[in-house]
């Protein structure tokens, strides 16, 4: 107890910690541990999450796009005393965490995708293709990391696809903040409407460890997981061309809007680290102790 108290004093929340977290907290430098939500004394669990999506892709109608570079997702998590849970057919339960936006506001970071326009030979990116940015259209909700392996979404994430093309202007989107594409990927087996068929994901390798410096938090890792969602609808385009005059062209080319059962997204090589604690100050101390 004396040793732990000494460590906590050296790495107190008020201490000026510099550098980025390392070890099990790598990538958690923007975790919003100082937010009012995470410091609320009614929280039974607080934590930090960072996930890297190494591959995969999406299908909208007959258009298939592979992710050409990794994506990163990061946010804080909270679960209040007596908070919401989900019960599975085997009677096991899992907490549904609330999420808190990271300090830099970048919950989802991805690189641009070069998406060919159907019917055109793609030799001029941004002209014979659309440069597509995957952007969040709202916060992650219903985060259930302990549902891994169950036929239940691990999270819900609303997104919109920002299409950049010389003829479509700078405000061309598929989906919007008010009518987003909602991803509900699972590591279990999907239940899509036809013509899509069920597909099975993978939890990858699961690890559970304690803080290396003696603090009270637990670090849960999921390595090389595969998540799928092939039951999502995709709305039509908006803001394309002058006053939306080219919306119909984008809808025609990509077959939009596209009903559920005709679209899919796969997130592969997913590595997730989740550090959780019953005390926000203890979590801060644990992260600060690894900064270099």
Q: Distance of alpha carbon 122 from its chain centroid, rounded? A: 30
Question: What confidence score (pLDDT) does residue 243 get?
Answer: 86
Within a domain: 156: yes
Contact 94, 55 (CB under 8 A): no
Q: How much is the average pLDDT of 80-88?
A: 91
pLDDT tens digit sequence for 98-135: 999 999 999 999 989 888 766 655 555 656 678 899 99
The 10 Å Cβ neighbour count of residue 21 is 23
Q: How much is the average pLDDT of 13-37?
A: 85
Question: What confidence score (pLDDT) does residue 126 get?
Answer: 57
Q: Sort residue 95 into left (φ over 0), alpha (ψ -120 to 50) or beta.
A: beta
The CA distance from 7 to 82, in Å, is 31
Within a domain: 22: no
Looking at the predicted structure, is the pLDDT value of residue 7 above 60?
A: no
**104-113, 143-152, 216-225: least confident range:** 143-152
The 10 Å Cβ neighbour count of residue 52 is 16
Within a domain: 7: no
Cα maximum dimension of the chain: 70
Q: How much is the average pLDDT of 266-280?
A: 97
Question: What confidence score (pLDDT) does residue 8 get?
Answer: 38
Residues 6+ apart with CB under 8 A from 212: 23, 24, 290
Within a domain: 19: no
Q: What percent of the chain has pLDDT over 70?
A: 90
Contact 125, 115 (CB under 8 A): no
Strands 93-95 and 98-100: unpaired
Looking at the predicted structure, is the pLDDT value of residue 5 above 60?
A: no
Contact 122, 114 (CB under 8 A): yes
pLDDT tens digit sequence for 161-198: 999 888 888 899 999 999 999 999 999 999 999 999 99
**97-106, 120-129, 198-207, 272-281: least confident range:** 120-129
Contact 117, 130 (CB under 8 A): yes
pLDDT tens digit sequence for 31-63: 999 999 999 999 999 999 999 999 999 999 778
Domain extent at residue 246: 28-288
Tokens (6 digits) for 96:
């549904």
Looking at the predicted structure, is the pLDDT value of residue 209 above 60?
A: yes
Question: What confidence score (pLDDT) does residue 4 get?
Answer: 38
Residues 6+ apart with CB under 8 A from 176: 137, 160, 235, 238
Q: What is the mean pLDDT of the chain?
A: 89
**24-28, 222-226, 251-255, 281-285: least confident range:** 251-255
Within a domain: 219: yes
Tokens (6 digits) for 225:
């997981």
Within a domain: 12: no
CA-CA-CA-CA dihedral for 243, 248, 254, 257, to nearest 10: 100
Question: What confidence score (pLDDT) does residue 127 get?
Answer: 60
The CA distance from 198 to 146, in Å, is 21
Within a domain: 34: yes
Counted domains in the chain: 1
Question: What confidence score (pLDDT) does residue 124 get?
Answer: 55
Within a domain: 23: no
Looking at the predicted structure, is the pLDDT value of residue 280 above 50?
A: yes
Question: What confidence score (pLDDT) does residue 168 get?
Answer: 87
Looking at the predicted structure, is the pLDDT value of residue 158 above 70?
A: yes
Classify burial at 157, counting beta carbons within 10 Å of its beta carbon; exposed 0-12, middle 13-18, buried 19 or more: buried
């Amino acid at each position: 107890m004396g040793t732990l108290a000494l460590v906590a004093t050296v790495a107190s929340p008020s201490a000026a910690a510099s550098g980025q977290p390392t070890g099990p907290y790598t990538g958690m430098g923007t975790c919003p541990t100082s937010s009012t939500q995470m410091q609320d004394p009614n929280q039974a669990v607080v934590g930090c999450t960072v996930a890297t999506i190494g591959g995969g892709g999406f299908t909208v109608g007959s258009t298939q796009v592979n992710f050409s570079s990794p994506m990163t997702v990061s946010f804080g998590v909270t679960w209040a005393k007596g908070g919401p849970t989900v019960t599975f057919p085997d009677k096991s339960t899992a907490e549904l965490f609330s999420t808190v936006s990271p300090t830099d506001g970048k919950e989802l970071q991805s690189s641009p995708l070069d998406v060919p326009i159907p019917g055109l030979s793609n030799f001029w990116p941004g002209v014979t293709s659309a440069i597509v940015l995957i952007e969040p259209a709202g916060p992650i909700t219903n985060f259930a990391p302990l549902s891994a392996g169950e036929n239940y979404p691990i999270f819900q994430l609303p997104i919109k696809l920002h299409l950049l093309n010389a003829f479509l202007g700078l405000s061309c989107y598929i989906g919007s903040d008010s009518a987003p594409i909602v991803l509900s990927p699972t590591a279990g087996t999907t239940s899509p409407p036809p013509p899509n068929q069920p597909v099975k994901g993978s939890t990858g390798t699961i690890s559970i460890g304690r803080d290396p410096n003696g603090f009270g938090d637990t670090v849960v890792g999921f390595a090389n997981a595969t998540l799928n969602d092939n039951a999502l609808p995709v709305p039509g385009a908006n803001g394309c061309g002058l006053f939306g005059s080219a919306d119909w062209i984008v809808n025609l080319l990509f077959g939009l809007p596209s009903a559920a059962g005709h679209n899919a997204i796969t997130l592969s090589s997913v590595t997730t680290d989740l550090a959780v604690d019953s005390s926000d100050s203890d979590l801060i101390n644990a992260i600060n102790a690894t900064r270099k």
